[in-house]
Amino acid sequence: MSERNPLSGSPLSGGERLDSEYVRGLLKVYFIMGSINCRRPAAEVLKEAIAGGVTIFQFREKGTGALTGAAKLDLARELQGICRAHGVPFIVNDDIDLAIALDADGVHVGQDDEPARILREQLGSDKIIGVSAHTPEEVRQAIADGADYLGIGPVYPTSSKDDARPVQGTVLIESLRREGISIPIVGIGGITVNNALPVLAAGADGISVISAIASASSPRLAAAELANQEERE
């Protein structure tokens, strides 16, 4: 199967950034993973997850035992190739240099990283920039800086991140939607097939998971079940 840029020919807004509704559609089943999250080779897990219905993928190689240097780059290239072969956007977590080196489809950053407006200057207008936000103030700043979407959470308790913030449930997502804030939102943190529906009902456009797919005995089935939750909402 030949590789292709998932964002090639994608709709642009008047400012030549990716259209917000297009980005919203990409967030439905957002899979985040690195080598330390998998029971089997990461490439196998990603292929199965995409077959099950993953709509966007974030490479997050962090934590004890994570790959570094050339090994990290090699894995990133392998996973990016799988994404491109299936038309799934490939996002890099935090590492702007890696994103540029790979010509990734975008980056996702936290509150301790460069703001979206600086990243936009480095990446260009046609890349996806996601920002993690935990308070109304962080949300408004990310929007002002030009983020394409927000990751809101942790919605539920999670063991996937050592530096996870306090659990906040769906309160922030609900309040943002009540205020009429329409930026694409993906919920994150402890989401499984059994608790995804309240996140979507609160106003999230998609659900992002690590363990629910990466640690599953069948990543394909796990992804498919999460995709079905989207259809039920």
Q: Which residues are catalytic?
A: 60, 132, 161
What's the rounded Cα separation, in Å, for the pair 55 and 87?
9
Q: Which residues are annotated as a binding site?
A: 58-62, 93-94, 113, 132, 158-161, 190, 210-211
Among 149, 125, 126, 129, residue whose Cα is nearest residue 139: 149
CA torsion sign for 160, 6, 72, 50 is positive
3-state secondary structure (DSSP) of residue 188 = strand
Residues, the chain: 233
List the alpha helices (DSSP H) in 56-210: 69-85, 96-102, 116-123, 136-144, 171-178, 196-202
Beta-strand pair 106-109/56-59? unpaired
**117, two tokens:** 């407006």
C-alpha 166, offset from chain centre: 20
What's the rounded Cα separation, in Å, for the pair 156 and 134?
13
Among 179, 228, 164, residue whose Cα is nearest residue 200: 228
